[in-house]
Amino acid sequence: MQNQQPELSWRDGDVPVSLRFDDPYFSLENGLAETRHVFLSGNDLPDRFRDGFQIAELGFGTGLNLLTAWAAWERAGCSGRLNFTSFEAFPMDAAQMARALQAFPEVAPWRDRFLTGWAGSGGYMSETLRFELIVGDARKTLPEWEGQADAWFLDGFSPARNPELWGAKLLADVGRHTAPAGTLATYTAAGQVRRALQAAGFLITRVPGYGRKRHMTRGALA
């Protein structure tokens, strides 16, 4: 798959919506609170942070998950560097990210540092963060990744709208690229996703979701 720009519309001024998948990029209630609930708490973060901790993510989107995790890392006073790798087929450019992230002034200091130093579709390095964006179809790029994630953020668009990012083969690759005692979290509790993750080797738990979403999914490598 060639690198393609996302097809966006903007709801209520600055809320990005994917025209390709007919889905907003973050919760219309409070995207930052949802990220903290689903991806940080869902992976027991920041309690598990340590130097070199590796987060991997399916679906980079606006970068909100990255900035939230980075902010949590620095606020926790962690030593060393957080590693964050994201797989994204249709990356936003810096201007689109900046527009979307205006909705979250709490992460503005991290947004500004990141966008100032980010090399577009490449990576970003600071004293506290090493970020890598892997552009392309994750079904092709994840099997080639040499990393092992301590925590996965599974944040593709809805499985009903973007089934390719929730297929059993790809989620099996998630399992193969998870470190011992690694975890995952996702906002979806779809039965086919939970079953595929169980088949990939995870112990799966359905727990309360954020806002109007009754349930979400947590997992730990068995």
Element (H, E) at 83: strand 82-88
Share of the chain above pLDDT 70, in %: 91
pLDDT at 23: 67
Query: pLDDT of 29-42, one tens digit each?
Result: 678 999 999 999 99
Percent of the chain at pLDDT > 90 equals 67
Q: pLDDT at residue 211 above 80?
A: no
Sign for the CA dihedral angle at 63, 65, 68, 69 comes to: negative
Question: How large is the average pLDDT for residues 60-76?
Answer: 95
Tell me the pLDDT band of 19, cut-offs 50, 70 and 90.
low
Q: Report yes or no: 204 and 181 within 8 Å, Cβ to Cβ.
A: no
Q: How do residues 152-210 score in pLDDT, each as one tens digit? A: 999 877 788 888 889 999 999 999 999 999 999 999 999 999 999 999 999 999 999 88
pLDDT per position as a tens digit, 121-141: 678 999 999 999 999 999 999
pLDDT of residue 27: 63
Contacts of 106 (CB under 8 A, 6+ apart): 32, 71
Q: Return the sign of the alpha-carbon dihedral for residues 37, 43, 47, 49.
A: negative
- Residue 29: what pLDDT? 63
Q: pLDDT tens, 40-62?
A: 999 999 999 999 999 999 999 88
Is the pLDDT reported for residue 25 higher than 70?
A: no
In order, the DSSP letters of 156-193 are -S-TTT-GGGG-HHHHHHHHHTEEEEEEEEES---HHH
Q: Rounded to an integer, what distance in angstroms lies between the CA atom of residue 81 and that of residue 76?
A: 12
Q: What is the SS3 assignment for 14?
A: coil
pLDDT at residue 16 in the model: 72
The model's pTM is 0.91
